[in-house]
Amino acid sequence: MLERRPRKDRTEVTFILPADTPPGPVSVVGDFNDWQPGIHTLTPRKDGNRAVTVALPAAGAHSFRYLAAGDYWFNDEHAETQDGVNSRLHT
């Protein structure tokens, strides 16, 4: 799931996944972090999910995927579109 919070000069996007699906650590990687795993690792929330918030430039489009343990890459089913094998979101 994706949550967006517009700010004056950026959009804060929160990437949310269930606590154990998939199991183990998960990072969101994309063009906004040069596709580097571990920079934006999802952490547990009080509601039982895990999430990470990333500040992105306003009025832009970004490609991303999730990377879980075991080199398991997957997309976000709540993303607006797909860009090849990547999920795509608009801020």
What pLDDT, on a 0 to 100 scale, did the predictor assign at position 59?
85
Burial class (CB in 10 A: 0-12, 13-18, 19+), 83: middle
What pLDDT, on a 0 to 100 scale, did the predictor assign at position 84?
87
Domain 2-86 in CATH 2.30.30.40? The answer is no
What pLDDT, on a 0 to 100 scale, did the predictor assign at position 35?
97
What pLDDT, on a 0 to 100 scale, did the predictor assign at position 39?
96
The half-sphere exposure of 87 on its side-chain side, counting CA atoms within 13 A, is 20
What pLDDT, on a 0 to 100 scale, did the predictor assign at position 58?
85
Q: Are 7 and 14 in contact (CB under 8 A)?
A: no
Q: What is the pLDDT of residues 14-37, one digit of tens each?
A: 999 999 889 999 999 999 999 999
Q: What is the CA radius of gyration of the chain?
A: 12
Domain residue spans in the chain?
A: 2-86
What pLDDT, on a 0 to 100 scale, did the predictor assign at position 33?
97
Burial class (CB in 10 A: 0-12, 13-18, 19+), 40: buried
**Residue ranges of the chain with per-residue pLDDT less than 70:** none
Q: Which residue has the tokens 């970004």?
A: 62
